[in-house]
Structure formats: structure tokens, C-alpha cells
Amino acid sequence: MYRGTKRRRAIEKGIITPRKVAGKTLLLAIILTTVSFCSLFLGTAAINITHVLGSLMPSTGFPPLSPAEEAILFSLRLPRIVFAGIVGAGLATAGAVFQALLRNPLADPYVLGLSGGAAVGAIIGIILGAGAFTFGVPLLAFVGAVLTLAMLFGISSRGSLLESNTLILSGVIVNAFFSAAIMFLISLSGLSELRNVLFWLMGDLSLAGKSDIAISGLFLLVGFLFIYREARSLNLIVMGEQTALFLGVDVEKTKLRLLIFASLITAAAVSISGIIGFVGLMVPHLIRMILGSDHRLTLPSAALFGASFLIVADTVARTAAAPLELPVGAVTAICGAPYFVYLLRKKEI
């Protein structure tokens, strides 16, 4: 009797219900809000929280924010925090989709060559002076990522079938080609463009304006809603494509749609933020280890945790060596590389 009750409770614990998804999502949303609030007050310029209370509630008697403090909080830090959250959520969501569809724990936007394609487009824009035009560099980076996606699908498709192993190998080859192209373009760039190119290659969240944030946020919202609508189908595909076909899932079309939307989310984020590695690799792993592999819970959890992780990484990047600023990609690499060495040693990959 006791064993039966214990087994039933274990099964019930593993069942994903709307209430469980809402509860876990709410907890991660609270963590994201707390991280964002703390990040808002961390930086080279100290902001007294009582001044914020004085501005929001004058009846408290606290002195209000000065014009300089208002500019720092609401024109510099808050947009950057929002943008970091959007990029982190997008990369983590895309990483979760890539790893599930390709059945490869190392699959992410960088491995598939999407980041490399965006980098080539952005560097060409920087060298040609496209930064003088609105959306000049981000647009070229986005075009580079989209063309890379089309190239990968063209190489990996066999008729109406999209072969996962061929897609990964194609991504590795395309990524190697883009790495050589990036080195060639860097050798052509002058000293004035070199710093911008290097910061873009290591990730830079300081360049996004309000319009950039709005566009990337729209891409994330639309892409995530579509991907989450396919969460059940994604679960079935992971269990086995034959099983998914038997249960009524159009496997090839679903895979193609999911890959396209995940790639567009990645392209929108990378085209503005630059290459930020390990978010799409590490965050989905952590979420699956903690919450399991049901994508009805994994997808929103990865998005929220990815947002929190990148906000923390960006806060470290702009405060650790103040008044100098580190590329946020360097901080994520410092966190991500040891983590994957640990996984390899534990033989979990």
C-alpha cells in the first residue's frame, strides 16, 4: 500500500499541468523582476533608492531624483536591462528548440552558423559605414543570418525531408567558412572600425535604441508564441518521429516551422546585440536538469531564466572593471565554458 502511494505521488509529481506551469513560470518571473530591479541600481554611478521613492511618492519626504540620476536610470540602464532580457530569452528559447529537434545537446545558434552569418553581415556594414543609417548594421546582420538559414536548409534538405545530422554538419562547415571570412574582413578594417568590430563579435548590449528594443521584442513575442503552440508536437517529436507521425503530427513541416521561427528569433537578437555565446547552450541544460524535459514547461522557463542570466552577466560586464566595460560575451563564456567541462567530466553529454 505504501509503495503504491509513493509511486502514485512520484507519477503525479512528474505530470505537467497548467497549474504547475503557471506556478513555475510565476516563480521565475519573480526572480527576473528581482534581478532586473537590483541591476537597475548597480553601476559606476551610485543611485540612492530613497531618491526613487522620493520621485514616485513625494509624500515620503525623501529628496527626488536629480536630472542626471533620471537620465542614468531611465535612459541608460532600464533600456539596457530590457534589451538584455529580450536577447537572453530569445537565445535560450532558440537553444531549447535546436537541441530538441536536432537531438544534440551542443546545438545552438553559434554551432549552426547563424551567429557567424550575422557577424559577417554586421562587419561588412561597419566597414562600409552603414552605422550612419538607421538600422544599417542590424539590418545587414539580420540579412546575413537569414541567408545563412536558407543556405543551411538548401544543403540539408533531401526532397521534402530535413536531415538533422546533415544540418548540424552543414552548420559546422558554414561556421568555419564564416570564421575565415570574419578574419579576412577584420584584416581589411581600419583602426577606427576595429574596436567596434571586436566589441560586436564579443557581444555589446549598449548600442540598442528604443526602436531596436521594440523590434527585437516583437520578434521574440511572435516567435515564442508560435513555438509554444507547438510544444506538445515538439514533445512527441523528441520521443520519436514515428510515434509523432502515428499521433497525427506532420513531423517535417513542424520541424521546418520550428527551426525557421527559432532562427528568426536568433537573427533578430544577434543582429543588434552581437555574438553572445553559451546562453543558448547552457540555459536549456540547466532548465531540463531542474524541471524536466516537457517543453510546455521548459520553453517558458528557459526564456525567463535566460533573460535573468543575461541581465546578471551584463551587470557584471559593466561593473566588474568599472569605469571600463567588458563585452558581455566574455562574461557568458567565462560562465559557460567551465559548466560544459563539468558536464563532459560527468558524462552527461
Residue 7, pLDDT score: 39
Q: What angle do CA 150, 239, 220 make, to 5 degrees?
A: 45
Q: Read off the DSSP letter of residue 134.
A: T
Which candidate, 112, 102, 90, places its Cα nearest to that of 224? 90
Cα(27)–Cα(159) distance, rounded to whole angstroms? 45
The tens digit of pLDDT for each residue in 282-307 reads 899 899 989 988 999 999 999 999 99
Which candidate, 94, 87, 86, places its Cα nearest to that of 281? 94
Exposure string for 140-154, b = 16+ CB within 10 A, e = fewer: bbbbbbbebbebbbe
Whether cis (ω within 30° of 0) applies to the bond prior to 109 is no
The tens digit of pLDDT for each residue in 248-272 reads 888 888 988 998 898 888 888 888 8
pLDDT bucket at 160, cuts 50 / 70 / 90:
low
Residue 269, pLDDT score: 85
Q: Which domains does the chain have, with CATH numbers?
A: 81-345 (1.10.3470.10)
Whether cis (ω within 30° of 0) applies to the bond prior to 323 is yes
Residue 211, pLDDT score: 83
